[in-house]
Structure 1
Amino acid sequence: MIKRITLFIIFLAALASVRAQDRTVQNRPYTDLRTFHFGVLVGTHLQDLEFVNRGPQIIDIEDGNGPTEKIVSMDQDRWDGGFTVGVLGELRINQTLQLRVAPGMYFGTRHLTFHNLSELNSNGEPTEETQELKTAYISCAFDLIAAAPRFNNHRPYIMLGINPMINLSGKDDDYIKLKRSDAYLEVGVGCDFYLPYFKLRPELKFMYGLSNCLDSKHVSNLRDKRMLMYSNSVSEAHSKMIALTFYFE
């Protein structure tokens, strides 16, 4: 039985391969011959932060009890969604390579949870504090695209790039605050679909922050000393994103 199923799957794959060789009328046959062109982009993304927890710390909250040891761990306990908008300009280097410059904006909110291991609730569990960390980034991605030869009305590709960003959000009364600037390494895959009136390019890419994006100077600006145990709980943070973007060219 397993052998028959395997042969049936092989037959379907062979049939699909034969059908894929059929040539069809090409939409916009000369669109890839342009030296330079523009477009717009929209998309969605998931954000995450990797934290390095500091461990035990000595905190003086000025309540008359003197310095005490606190242990607080912090994490972004889920991938949080956001959306992206922007424009693009693309330069054709040769038949395979293109250089894309894509200014855009990334909007989202990260949900952070602090676990105070030094203070337990009535159930013997660590008490928790949360923070909604809103983010609004201005970005300008520089991507190198390597595309396969076009077949019919589609053309797959891979991409690699760097994406510097400027963070426009952040409050002085938050537990955690991020730096104003960061840079992401981008790697992804996509496919061009040639439609009658425009070219649609869905792209899935993975982005990883190259620097420590935690604003360590934020602690000195806190007025509420009870926030220190939470703001001091991490020493380093790196941002990550998974982005699904649709380019219209």
Structure 2
Amino acid sequence: MRKKRNKYYFLLLVICFSYSVGVFAQYPTVRERVINLPTFDQKPIHYGYFLGLNQYDFKFEYVENYYKELGYKDVTVIPKSGFTVGLIGDLRINTYFNLRFEPGLYYSRRELQYPDISGFEKESDKIREIKSTYIHLPLILKISTKRINNFRPFIMAGFSTDFNLSSNSKNRDDNASNVFRTTAQNLNYELGLGFDFYLYYFKFSPSLRGIFSFQNELVPDTDPNSPWTGIINSIFSRGIAIIITFE
């Protein structure tokens, strides 16, 4: 299920990129009468804000004997839609490169559905809902093409850190009390692509972002044989976000 979802995200990125290339190839034939915000990209620093939607998944790494000896199936992750808001600070490096700081608030929900594992007393024990409220602090390098009239494609890459306000990392209760704990901070790398549209009063930019954690976020239960965390070595967040910026 998770592999299919990751393939879907990858396919969506490829389609968006292919579309941008097609538009890039055709757009020079269009002759715009008015060039909006002609000096906007020459500013050394500018600011803005963004809104968006997100969906987060988990990548699991299980104990060594999870599949062969125990014969368990994967934990199923059902991502729920969340929202994103934040601010933008953009530093111009040169014509094609900008360094951006985009602090934001990311809210997400995920539901874990465990397979049949010995240790669960009732059916509801197999389900855990994880709510995350991230203070998201990314540093992003934005690489843009040459502007074509009022249109400009770009790609983005960078690193970010998250502070999870809903991690329960210091909570003494664990899954035995229906509390799934994760770390309070994690590190990610990010990739994305999008388009700048220069309107009369501001620049409007939709983009698609992928957010990939490379730090283990699991806080194990007190019981080392817990059916919720005893079978898992580590978990890593994987997120996709549709962001709309106004600058």
TM-score, normalised to structure 1's length? 0.77
Matched letter for residue 115 of structure 2: H
Superposed counterparts of 1:229-248, under 5 Å: 229-248=227-246
1:116 match: secondary structure = coil
Q: Distance in 2 between matches of 1:115 and 1:98?
A: 46
Instruction: Say whether residues 1:208 and 2:212 are aligned partners.
Output: yes
**Superposed CA offset, 1:54-83 (max 9, x none):** 3769xxxxxxxxxxx988655243332211
Report what 2:6 is aligned to.
none
Report what 1:95 is aligned to.
95
Q: Distance in 1 between matches of 2:204 and 2:197?
A: 5
Is contact 1:73–1:117 with CA below 8 Å preserved after alignment?
Answer: no
**Which structure 1 residue ranges, 4+ long, deviate > 6 Å from structure 2?**
69-72
Is contact 1:74–1:234 with CA below 8 Å preserved after alignment?
Answer: no
Q: Distance in 2 between matches of 1:20 and 1:190?
A: 21
Superposed counterparts of 1:1-249, under 5 Å: 17=26, 20-54=29-63, 75-118=75-118, 129-171=126-168, 172=171, 173-175=173-175, 176-216=180-220, 219-220=221-222, 228-249=226-247
Q: Which runs of 5+ in 2 are unaligned?
A: 1-21
Identity %: 31
Is contact 1:115–1:128 with CA below 8 Å preserved after alignment?
Answer: no
Q: Which runs of 5+ in 1 are unaligned?
A: 1-12, 58-68
TM-score, normalised to structure 2's length? 0.77
Deviation of residue 206 (structure 1)?
1.1
Structure with greater strand percent: 1
1:238 match: secondary structure = strand
Q: Distance in 2 between matches of 1:246 and 1:189?
A: 12
Superposition RMSD in Å: 2.9
**Number of positions where the alignment pairs a residue of Structure 1 with one of Structure 2:** 214
Q: Aligned pair in 2 of structure 1 residues 154, 19: CA closer, same or farther (>3 Å)?
A: closer
Q: Aligned pair in 2 of structure 1 residues 189, 233: CA closer, same or farther (>3 Å)?
A: same
1:32 match: secondary structure = helix
